[in-house]
Amino acid sequence: MGVVLNLENGKRGSASIKELIGLTAADMGRVNELILSKAGSDVEMIPEIANHLISSGGKRLRPMVTLAAAQMFGYSGDGHVKLATSVEFMHTATLLHDDVVDESGMRRGKKTARMIWGNQASVLVGDFLLGQAFRMMVDVGSLDALDILSTAASIIAEGEVMQLAAAKNLETTEDEHFAVIKAKTAALFSAAAEVGPVIAAASRTDRAALRSYGMNLGLAFQLIDDALDYGGNSKELGKNVGDDFREGKVTLPVILAYRRGTAVEREFWKRAIETDAADDAALEKAIGLMTRHGAIADTIGRARHFGEIARDALAPLDATPQKAALVDVIDFCISRVG
């Protein structure tokens, strides 16, 4: 696909999360043990559903960010393992509820939990994981970390409602859209990064640096995800190209193509997004229009912009392997397109 090849020109060849994986390997082993133990329950359906999602090959980016951010400031206890696990549980709970809300059939190349166990179980097991996440945070005992993560939980839900209220609204402005993805995606990355310095009793400046890093990384991550839906590689993505389109999701590539389009093109978008008339022919046409208007390339441009802010947020910090690894994460996220 032409658009994909184009993007590869801007890709950093070395972008990888190998460094991050290496630095956090030992701690992630403990996170994985804790995940299994805290997703356990005598009520069989709970570990079944939790493990379905947890074992389905997500990258566990968020908990690795928490671990690296704590290591970076010399943290030596085991609280970061619990907080990292809490962050992953919050993320998993959100995915379970998201799939119900979006009526999604596939996630990461597997059937969603709601397709196997039903919406009801997905809602309730999500609630259970959220409860377990809070219990682990409480166990760590840092009121500051609790404040950050509970605030993130509210903001994420608020962002999801915002998205629901704006669903299929093609008049959504870019700013309104950024407000949604800031809340529904970036807030958790931000919290995941900030609790690292918090638990390591780092300075307010360091906390602010990691918070800003996480927020902007999260925005870049979501925008790239949205771009991938119209030009990525289905295998890497774990979902099919065009999933967002078929679900009538108004993501940034759509917003840009719609705003830049002719009156006739806008009619096409309305039909496709608002009336569930999005078949394969419509998807092909949509990608054609996006390419014509540079909508995918510019979505990636916006992502790069946030990536640069994330990089500069960390700039004043001492050079450490963890800092280098966190910078690599930015490049990795952006290099996923192509």
* Binding stretches for a second copy (CB under 8 A): 41, 43-46, 97, 100-101, 119-121, 123-125, 127-128, 130-132, 134-135, 137-139, 141, 143, 146-147, 150-151, 153-158, 160-162, 164-165
Residue type, position 259, single letter: R
Q: Rounded to 5 degrees, what are φ and ψ at 108?
A: 50, 40
Q: Output 188 or 256, the one with its CB closest to a second copy.
A: 188
Residue 25 to residue 301: CA distance in whole angstroms: 32
Q: Output 117 or 268, the one with its CB closest to a second copy.
A: 117
Share of the chain residues as helix, strand and coil, in percent rounded to the nearest 5: 75, 0, 25
* Burial of residue 10 (number of CB atoms within 10 Å: 0-12, 13-18, 19+): middle
DSSP class of 43:
S
Instruction: Find the shortest distance in angstroms from Cβ 128 to a second copy.
Output: 4
Q: Output 109 or 118, the one with its CB closest to a second copy.
A: 118
Q: Output 32 or 119, the one with its CB closest to a second copy.
A: 119
Contacts of residues 246-251 at CB distance under 8 Å and 24 or more positions apart, as own/partner, are 246/278, 246/283, 247/102, 247/103, 247/104, 248/167, 248/168, 248/272, 248/273, 248/274, 248/276, 248/278, 249/102, 249/167, 250/166, 250/167, 250/168, 250/169, 250/170, 250/172, 250/177, 251/177, 251/226, 251/299
Instruction: Find the shortest distance in angstroms from Cβ 90 to a second copy.
Output: 10
Determine how β-strand 106-107 pairs with β-strand 110-111: antiparallel
List all residues 6 or more positions away from 264 whose beta carbon is below 8 Å from its beta carbon.
Answer: none
Instruction: Find the shortest distance in angstroms from Cβ 49 to a second copy.
Output: 9
Residue 211 to residue 83: CA distance in whole angstroms: 15
Instruction: Find the shortest distance in angstroms from Cβ 334 to a second copy.
Output: 29
Residue 307 to residue 303: CA distance in whole angstroms: 6
Residue 200 to residue 73: CA distance in whole angstroms: 6
Instruction: Find the shortest distance in angstroms from Cβ 110 to a second copy.
Output: 21
Q: Output 125 or 286, the one with its CB closest to a second copy.
A: 125
State CA 246 to chain mean position distance: 20
Q: Output 120 or 262, the one with its CB closest to a second copy.
A: 120
Instruction: Find the shortest distance in angstroms from Cβ 145 to a second copy.
Output: 10
DSSP letters, 2-17, are HHHHHHHTT--TT--S
Instruction: Find the shortest distance in angstroms from Cβ 139 to a second copy.
Output: 8
Instruction: Find the shortest distance in angstroms from Cβ 132 to a second copy.
Output: 5
Q: Output 125 or 327, the one with its CB closest to a second copy.
A: 125
The CA-to-CA distance between both ends of the chain, in Å, stands at 10
Q: Output 43 or 315, the one with its CB closest to a second copy.
A: 43
Q: Output 189 or 230, the one with its CB closest to a second copy.
A: 189
Instruction: Find the shortest distance in angstroms from Cβ 165 to a second copy.
Output: 5
DSSP letters, 161-172, are HHHHHTTT-TT-
